[in-house]
Amino acid sequence: MSRLAGKVAIVTGGGGGIGSAVARRLVAEGARVAVADIFEESARRAAEPLGDAAIAVAFDAASADSVKALVDQTVAHFGKLDILHNNAAMTDPAKSAQDTTATDIPLGIWQEILDVNLTGYLLGCRYAIPHMIANGGGSIVNTASNSGTAGDLARIAYGSTKGAIITLTRYVATQHGAQNIRCNSIAPGVVLTEALDKTVPGLKDIIKRHILTPEFGTPDDIAALVAFLASDESRYITGENISISGGGLIHQPHYADLKAFMEGAG
Ligand SMILES: NC(=O)c1ccc[n+]([C@@H]2O[C@H](COP(=O)([O-])OP(=O)(O)OC[C@H]3O[C@@H](n4cnc5c(N)ncnc54)[C@H](O)[C@@H]3O)[C@@H](O)[C@H]2O)c1
């Protein structure tokens, strides 16, 4: 497939489970990619197998200067910018453990999560859009989450940023549509990255009762959606939030209980 031949992309959080799969997929479809992460080593590990089609860039999504430098370095290296995949997020287990409830979350943790997950996406748009306009247009794909569309027992800051990303996406799409900039968000449900499988081993069994597909989604499933939204095949889709979660949020809340009851009765 060469849907992305000639395109240049930035993938933030590119050293992580989903980001590295997206970088691989975009390159497989013909793009050249800046794989950007706060951990230089993991960015390098993801970029190196992709050869000359990828560079590794260390950056901090929470710093305006650093995000600007990432965009400038990408344009200096590859000559332009067509695609931005804002995907980095605070997923450090020690910090996530403190992301609890409205009454308990330390304000410092709340702010840190907002800075990376939300302001980081704004900054990516801020510095990427002028280059995209200069180039005749572009596609921005923001990673939100199903956690941004429904409440949960923990991670109030994470969920709030993911909800806000869906709204940020609509504003960017609205404000820059006339300049041929499309902006969409994707909302993964549980995706079994290696890290998640290790840190929350019991989660798998709970979630499995609520998804409708026989198998969990993988980072490669997410990458396929990002590649589609990045490509001109999706040229009439903008401002949307697309859930990619095995139907986990589309059924009645009592689905799992009723299913267990019916199986027991049968
Ligand atoms: N895995 C899932 O089940 C799931 C579900 C819904 C949404 N998501 C979202 O998908 C995206 C990717 O998550 P993942 O599962 O691959 O997790 P991951 O932890 O493997 O990837 C996140 C990456 O972001 C990087 N990062 C963290 N802080 C940063 C900063 N300040 N600057 C730059 N990079 C930074 C990390 O180093 C890491 O490589 C995230 O936005 C996450 O919220 C994941």
Ordered per-residue pLDDT tens for the chain, 266 residues: 699 999 999 999 999 999 999 999 999 999 999 999 999 999 999 999 999 999 999 999 999 999 999 999 999 999 999 999 999 999 999 999 999 999 999 999 999 999 999 999 999 999 999 999 999 999 999 999 999 999 999 999 999 999 999 999 999 999 999 999 999 999 999 897 777 677 677 778 888 899 999 998 999 999 999 999 999 999 999 999 999 999 999 999 999 999 999 998 76
Residue 123 forms part of a structural domain:
yes
Active site residue 158: yes
Give the Cα separation of 66 and 123 in Å (integer).
Answer: 10
Residue 213 forms part of a structural domain:
yes
Residue in 10, 18, 41 to alter for ligand 1 test, most ligand atoms within 8 A of Cβ: 18
Residue 61 in contact with ligand 1 by CB distance below 6 A: yes
Q: Which residues are CB-neighbours of 125 under 8 A, at least 6 positions away?
A: 84, 86, 140, 168, 172, 183
Question: Is the CB of residue 89 less than 8 Å from the CB of residue 116?
Answer: yes
pLDDT of residue 266: 67
CA of 92 to the centre of ligand 1 (A): 9
Residue 1 forms part of a structural domain:
no
pLDDT of residue 199: 67
CATH number, position 112: 3.40.50.720
Range of the domain at 227: 8-265
Residue 2 forms part of a structural domain:
no
Residue 182 forms part of a structural domain:
yes
Q: CA nearest 246: which of 127, 175, 146, 150?
A: 146
Specify the residue with its C-alpha closest to ligand 1, atom 13: 18
Residue 198 forms part of a structural domain:
yes
> Which candidate in 158, 171, 236, 255 is catalytic?
158
Q: Tell me how many domains the chain contains.
A: 1
CA of 14 to the centre of ligand 1 (A): 8
Residue 13 in contact with ligand 1 by CB distance below 6 A: yes
Q: Which residues are CB-neighbours of 226 under 8 A, at least 6 positions away?
A: 22, 25, 26, 85, 141, 186
Inter-CA distances, 176 with 79, 229, 237, Å: 22, 16, 14
Stated as kind and residue range, the H or E segment containing 58 is strand 54-58
CA angle 146, 205, 241 (to 5 degrees): 15
Residue 206 forms part of a structural domain:
yes
pLDDT of residue 192: 79
Residue 3 forms part of a structural domain:
no
